[in-house]
Chains A and B, each alone.
Chain A
Amino acid sequence: MRQCVVVGLGTFGASVARTLIEKGCEVLAIDEDEEKVKEISEIVTQAVQADATDEKTLRSLGVDKMDAAVVSTGENMEGSILITLLMKELGVKTIVAKAVSASHGSVLRKVGATRVVFPERDMGVRLAESLATPSILEHIELSPEYSIMEVHAPESFIGRTLREIDVRAKLGLNIIAIKRKLPYLTDTGESDFKEDILITPGADEQVADGDILVVIGPNKRIDNLRNL
């Protein structure tokens, strides 16, 4: 079982801690704020109110034996840099640190962070992308030229099989999965739907109204699909 330490229990840190627990990891959560520690204490493996900039404290908590550390005290720049440095010195292999600016991120990398995240900046980019092109639901950039994208099935695809649409020959793209909603009635007779995913759908699969296509290919060609 992977053991992780999360330092800083704001919205971001608490969310990371909660998800790690859901994924079956052991989590040590540290913050100086008693209230925040109390709030998360019932969820995580161990929650401690402590000053994480103190090396002795970190050692006594067994941080040196952790597989990964998440330093999410971003607003306290000095603190996050010092904690990242201490994690490095204690021998933690994976250190993920939250940065609030590019220069902060650069320092965090230099003192030992193996990965720097910018949640606010990244969320801003994703939000702008979704507002600018509402048909794109997810975008994973594989390289500057290639991506995996989730797009709404164009109206012209609905009711046709993948063989008939033939996006590979016509657009040079591959549909690697289809996300579909399956309508059903609950025990009390109310309408609802389940979300299903068809991985590598066959050529005879028919595209349905409301389908989301997971497409891989060159960005320029995915743009063509969006404009269909």
Chain B
Amino acid sequence: MFQEEKRDFKKLEAKIAKIKDKKEKVEKLIELGKFYFLNEKYDEAITKFKEAAKIDENNAEIYYNLGIVYESKNLPEEAGHMYTKTLELNPNHRLASKHLEKIVGK
């Protein structure tokens, strides 16, 4: 099972490496990051979201996802920075403000 999972991740990584279109690449990197996150592979998820942020630095969704992964790893300060960045880019991001309130205090 674990071997199959590993193959799936590698397949996806290889597919994404070939994508030329920036928008599509970011979407796929976010997708893969979420896939890693759901499998509790937090360090790998962070790497993918950071790769996505390098291509599209104004994408609130990427910073929100980074926040969620940092919070899952018990790194509240890093998570707080990411939620703040998310809200700067999208002040209406409901989940980012919910998580930020939880970390910082209402």
Binding site for A on B (CB under 8 A): 34, 37-38, 40, 42-43, 64-65, 68-69, 71-74, 95
* Contact indicator A183/B74 (Cβ below 8 Å): no
A190 to chain B, nearest CB (A): 6
Which of A1-9, A56-64, A100-108, A206-214 faces chain B? A206-214
A40 to chain B, nearest CB (A): 17
* Contact indicator A210/B74 (Cβ below 8 Å): yes
A191 within 8 A of B: yes
Identify B42's interface contact among A184, A209, A212, CB under 8 A.
Answer: A209
Between-chain CB contacts (< 8 Å), 20 pairs? A152-B74, A181-B72, A183-B40, A183-B68, A183-B72, A185-B38, A186-B95, A190-B64, A191-B34, A191-B64, A191-B65, A191-B68, A191-B69, A192-B68, A193-B68, A209-B40, A209-B72, A210-B72, A210-B73, A212-B74
How far apart are the CA atoms of A193 and B74 in the complex, in Å? 12
A16 to chain B, nearest CB (A): 17
List residues of chain B with CB within 8 A of the CB of A186: 95
Q: Give the total number of A-B pairs whose CB atoms are below 8 A apart.
A: 38
B90 to chain A, nearest CB (A): 12
How far apart are the CA atoms of A191 and B73 in the complex, in Å? 14
Q: Main SS of the interface on chain B?
A: helix
Binding site for B on A (CB under 8 A): 152, 181, 183-186, 190-193, 208-210, 212
List residues of chain A with CB within 8 A of the CB of B71: 181, 193
List residues of chain A with CB within 8 A of the CB of B42: 209-210
Given contacts A191-B64, A191-B69, A210-B72, 16 further A-B contacts (CB under 8 A): A183-B37, A183-B40, A183-B72, A184-B38, A185-B34, A185-B38, A186-B95, A190-B64, A191-B37, A191-B65, A192-B68, A193-B72, A209-B42, A209-B43, A209-B72, A210-B42
List residues of chain A with CB within 8 A of the CB of B38: 183-185, 191
How far apart are the CA atoms of A16 and B95 in the complex, in Å? 27
List residues of chain B with CB within 8 A of the CB of A209: 40, 42-43, 72-73
How far apart are the CA atoms of A210 and B71 in the complex, in Å? 8
List residues of chain A with CB within 8 A of the CB of B40: 183, 208-210
When A and B form their complex, which 7 residue pairs have the shortest distance between CB atoms, in order from nearest? A191-B68, A181-B72, A210-B73, A210-B72, A183-B38, A183-B37, A210-B74
How far apart are the CA atoms of A210 and B69 in the complex, in Å? 9
How far apart are the CA atoms of A184 and B35 in the complex, in Å? 10
List residues of chain B with CB within 8 A of the CB of A190: 64, 95
List residues of chain B with CB within 8 A of the CB of A193: 68, 71-72
Residue with the greatest number of chain A CB neighbours at <10 A, chosen from B37, B40, B74: B74
How far apart are the CA atoms of A184 and B69 in the complex, in Å? 11
Identify A192's interface contact among B43, B73, B74, B95, CB under 8 A.
Answer: B95
List residues of chain A with CB within 8 A of the CB of B65: 191
B26 to chain A, nearest CB (A): 15
List residues of chain B with CB within 8 A of the CB of A191: 34, 37-38, 64-65, 68-69
